[in-house]
Amino acid sequence: MSEKKKLKILACPANKGGCAYYRIIMPLEKLQELYPDDVEIRFNYDPLDAKGAPARKGALQQPKDCKDLNWCDVVMFQNIHNYGGPYTVDILRAAKELNKFTHYDTDDLLTDLYEGHRLVSVYKEQKLDEMTKVIYANSDMVSVTQRKFAERIQPYVTKALVIIKNAVDYKLPCWNLPRVEVPSRMKKHTRIGWAGGIHHEEDVKEFRAVAMGVNAKMGIHNVSWNFFGRPPKGEKKDDWQQDVWNNYEKSLSFGVKGNSNVLFHGAAPSHDYGHFFRGLDIVIAPLQDNAFNDSKSEIKAMEAGRYGIPLVASDVGCYDELIKNGKTGFLIPADNPRSEWVRALTRLCKDKDLRKQMGQNLKKVTDEYYDINNVVGGRLELYKQVMDIKEKALANTKYKGLPGSE
């Protein structure tokens, strides 16, 4: 009997954290763990052997000399910023030359950054929005996180466009830690938390008055604000990220600076991220209403739900799929008066039983539908379909706007 042929996937994540972890690293590691007879996975953060040099300034390996690219059936990749935007196009072209099935995954609407976004000038200068559209057009499959995102990029995608929801590996130790309860002498105290990266400067600015309003209603010693994600201080290339977090502090400490109820915490590796949430009572997700934010996933709800914490979020993106008003949290209209935020948060601060019930309702949903251990099999089925259509997909080898192609 001949040995069963495994599907060989070469994964090329953008980095080792954030969306790269949630979208590629963690799910593919889980796929390998649960289906070892069906798939074989390799990870390569530099498949063309750029060795850290800016894209195209060094001699990139020819496709025929790239061991992992020749080995695989499928190349799954993201925008790799380490070597510049062109490097991602180089990966796509090399995979095409070797007749590999190309799967591009993204969780940010990079073709429609709003003017206040920190990276908008970089994207315009390097024409990365145009490169992203080229990648959309030439990849055999493009995957995104939600429906509205898919609808926005549909005009640029010429082949398969699929929605792959984010998921969390709830078996990891960081998602199974005991809850940290407040001391009995602080029984009226409520811990409100936010976790995020460097893409939320404008969102955070909008929230500063809300903190002031809740403090005024509850008393400054009965509530604490916890903000997680500040990167460690280090190399000069990270200065701009520190600048973003300095701006966060200015915005979020507005009106309460000098008081101990505003706390900023460092970032953690993605596989240990869950411990942030075990010491919170409410999680918040404020977002401005723009196309970029409206294409975001509901990942904060998945994280809060695991520890049974209600979420209060702007009604932007796809939070309405998980957050049902008064049952699993509160959705605040995008054009809301700040008083709506203050009202929702104050209500939860005052009612511990309501917080607990909402949190448990959210946990039931997230444990069933967003645990990678329950849903990763669907990804295997998707890849089986990929292999079924592979020959037809590879029959079309013409490129649409790839630099260097005819």
pLDDT in tens, 254-312: 555 555 688 888 888 877 888 899 999 999 999 889 999 999 888 899 999 999 999 99
Give 49-57 contacts, CB < 8 A, sequence gap 24+.
50/83, 50/87, 52/82, 52/83, 53/83, 54/83, 54/84, 55/83, 55/84, 55/85, 55/86, 55/87, 55/90, 56/84, 56/86, 56/87, 56/90
Whether pTM > 0.85 for this model: the answer is yes
What's the mean pLDDT when you consider all of the chain? 84
User: Is the confidence at residue 406, as pLDDT, over 50?
Assistant: no
From the CB of residue 9, how many other CB atoms can be counted at a distance below 10 Å? 23
User: Is the confidence at residue 25, as pLDDT, over 70?
Assistant: yes
If one compares 270 and 156, the residue with the highest pLDDT of the two is 156
- Tokens 């008064």 label which residue? 326
24 with 105: CB under 8 angstroms? Answer: yes
Q: Which amino acid is at 346?
A: T
Residue 237 binned pLDDT confidence (cut-offs 50, 70, 90): very low
How high is the pLDDT of residue 114?
78
User: Is the confidence at residue 128, as pLDDT, over 90?
Assistant: no
- Biggest alpha carbon distance in the chain? 74
User: Is the confidence at residue 54, as pLDDT, over 60?
Assistant: no
If one compares 343 and 86, the residue with the highest pLDDT of the two is 343
Please give the Cα distance from 149 to 323 (Å, whole number).
19
Share of the chain residues as helix, strand and coil, in percent rounded to the nearest 5? 45, 15, 35
How high is the pLDDT of residue 238?
57
User: Residue 305 corresponds to which tokens in the numbers above?
Assistant: 């739900």
- Beta-carbon contacts of residue 334 (< 8 Å; ≥ 6 apart): 287, 288, 289, 314, 315, 316
Residue 208 CA from chain centroid, whole number? 24
Question: Mean pLDDT throughout 134-147?
Answer: 93
DSSP output for 12-24: E-SSSSHHHIIII
How high is the pLDDT of residue 8?
94
How high is the pLDDT of residue 79?
80
User: Residue 199 corresponds to which tokens in the numbers above?
Assistant: 């893409």
* Phi, psi for residue 279 in degrees, rounded to 5: -110, 25
User: Is the confidence at residue 36, as pLDDT, over 80?
Assistant: yes
pLDDT in tens, 162-209: 999 888 899 999 999 999 888 777 778 999 999 887 778 778 777 878
How high is the pLDDT of residue 404?
39
How high is the pLDDT of residue 248?
81
Residue 42 DSSP symbol: E
Ordered structural domains, the chain, with CATH: 7-167+372-395 (3.40.50.2000), 173-369 (3.40.50.2000)
User: Is the confidence at residue 58, as pLDDT, over 60?
Assistant: no
Q: What percent of the chain has pLDDT over 70?
A: 86
Interior angle at CA 127, CA 126 and CA 131, nearest 5: 115
Residue 81 binned pLDDT confidence (cut-offs 50, 70, 90): low
pLDDT in tens, 340-362: 999 999 999 999 999 999 999 99
